[in-house]
């Protein structure tokens, strides 16, 4: 797999932003449909799809709040670091068979950028000098620690199947059979843990679906736009990375490789957005117990099975 030309590097953040906005619009339409079960006109659905854009405009003109004794530089660093980490993680994701940077250890790079997102959320919760925001930051750390191990094992299982840490070689290995077919447990664990890393769906307590308010409790105006936008970018990148890992990347009949990548990413992202409305938010201690007691042993078992298959080749 070759690297993309230099101009593609500049287009990467814009492409991710468009994809994240599309996912947010789809989520807004689903919310509208759930709230109004009566027959709806296309104009009403289109208006609902524009909800994220209107929210961005509202926050742009909102005055920034500042708590007492807040560490403003630290807060801004955490806010900005979240979307930056998501974009840097996307650098190793191929569009078709070309990525911005086909690193020899692309798997390690992606996982490291996700860890950087941990630091970003925690800084955003720590900086405002607010108890509720700090609770949200620590919640995300606890959640991330619980789901990072099965997440990492799922990613490295795909690397083990290809016998390489290079994302391009993982895609090339799937020319015949996608990894999702013969390592389905790793694929399912990856999607579940990816939602936890992006504090999405049943794992959204760090974002504040309760009285605590989450890590973004004290963020307002542009700061809130950047932080929540970074969350959508993180979810989009996590969905996109599942394509080269488990769904064959750009491999597919008839259509060009880049289009296969786009379609597969859109399907995974739509599924992650849709599943949010089907699975309720749980108490953190319950789904953290699932991560340690159920997902981690299953991920290890799946890795052992893949290792046996690789040794038998």
* Comparison of pLDDT for 170 and 33, the residue scoring more: 170
Q: List the single range of 74-83, 135-144, 266-275 with lowest mean pLDDT.
A: 135-144
The span from the CA of 79 to the CA of 124, in Å, is: 6
DSSP state of 2: E
Is residue 75 a contact partner of residue 227, using CB atoms and an 8 Å limit?
no
For the chain, give the mean pLDDT: 83
Q: Which residues contact 215 (CB under 8 A, 6 or more apart)?
A: 121, 122, 124, 125, 133, 136, 137, 139, 140, 206, 207, 208, 227
Residue 172 token pair: 């090339």
Give the alpha-carbon dihedral of 151, 245, 183, 297, to 10 degrees.
-10
Q: Provide the pLDDT for residue 248.
A: 87
First and final CA of the chain: distance in angstroms?
Answer: 23
Q: Provide the pLDDT for residue 191.
A: 93
Q: Which helix (H) or strand (E) holds 99?
A: strand 98-99
Per-residue pLDDT tens digits for 219-268: 888 888 898 888 899 999 999 999 999 998 888 888 888 889 999 999 99
The span from the CA of 286 to the CA of 306, in Å, is: 29
Q: Provide the pLDDT for residue 208.
A: 64
Q: List the single range of 2-11, 80-89, 205-214 with lowest mean pLDDT.
A: 2-11
pLDDT of 64 over the 60 cut: yes
Per-residue confidence band for 156, with pLDDT thresholds at 50, 70 and 90: very high
Q: Provide the pLDDT for residue 42.
A: 64
* Comparison of pLDDT for 210 and 165, the residue scoring more: 165
Give the pLDDT mean for 10-17: 80
Q: Which domain holds residue 36?
A: 2-311
Q: What percent of the chain has pLDDT over 90?
A: 22
- At residue 299, the 3 state secondary structure works out as helix
* Comparison of pLDDT for 25 and 180, the residue scoring more: 180
Q: Provide the pLDDT for residue 7.
A: 45
pLDDT of 67 over the 90 cut: no
The span from the CA of 19 to the CA of 184, in Å, is: 26
Q: Provide the pLDDT for residue 204.
A: 78
The span from the CA of 93 to the CA of 261, in Å, is: 10
Q: What's the total number of domains in the chain?
A: 1
Backbone angles phi, psi at 206, to 5 degrees: -60, -20
Nearest Cα neighbor of 157 from 309, 264, 312 is: 309
């Amino acid at each position: 797999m070759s690297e993309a030309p230099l101009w593609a590097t500049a287009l990467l953040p814009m492409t991710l932003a468009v994809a994240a906005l599309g996912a947010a619009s789809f989520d807004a339409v689903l919310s509208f449909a759930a709230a109004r079960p009566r027959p709806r006109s296309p104009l009403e659905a289109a208006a609902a799809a524009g909800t994220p854009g209107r929210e961005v405009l509202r926050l742009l003109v909102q005055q920034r709040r500042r708590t007492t004794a807040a560490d403003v530089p630290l807060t801004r660093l955490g806010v900005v670091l979240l979307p930056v980490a998501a974009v840097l993680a996307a650098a190793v994701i191929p569009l078709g068979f070309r990525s911005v940077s086909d690193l020899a250890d692309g798997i390690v790079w992606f996982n490291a950028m996700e860890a950087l997102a941990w630091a970003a959320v925690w800084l955003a919760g720590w900086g405002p000098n607010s108890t509720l925001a700090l609770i949200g930051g620590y919640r995300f750390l606890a959640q991330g620690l619980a789901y990072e191990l099965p997440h990492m094992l799922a990613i490295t299982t795909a690397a083990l199947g290809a016998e390489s840490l290079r994302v391009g070689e993982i895609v090339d290995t799937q020319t015949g059979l996608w990894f999702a077919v013969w390592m389905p447990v790793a694929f399912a664990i990856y999607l579940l843990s990816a939602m936890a890393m992006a504090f999405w769906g049943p794992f959204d307590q760090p974002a504040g679906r309760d009285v605590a308010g989450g890590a973004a409790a004290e963020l307002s105006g542009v700061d809130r736009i950047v932080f929540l936008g970074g969350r959508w970018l993180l979810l989009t990148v996590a969905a996109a990375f599942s394509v080269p890992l488990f769904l064959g990347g750009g491999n597919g009949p008839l259509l060009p490789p880049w289009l296969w990548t786009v379609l597969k990413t859109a399907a995974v992202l739509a599924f992650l957005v849709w599943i949010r409305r089907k699975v309720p938010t749980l108490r953190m201690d319950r789904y953290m117990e699932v991560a340690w007691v159920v997902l981690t042993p299953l991920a290890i078992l799946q890795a052992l099975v893949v290792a046996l298959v690789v040794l038998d080749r």
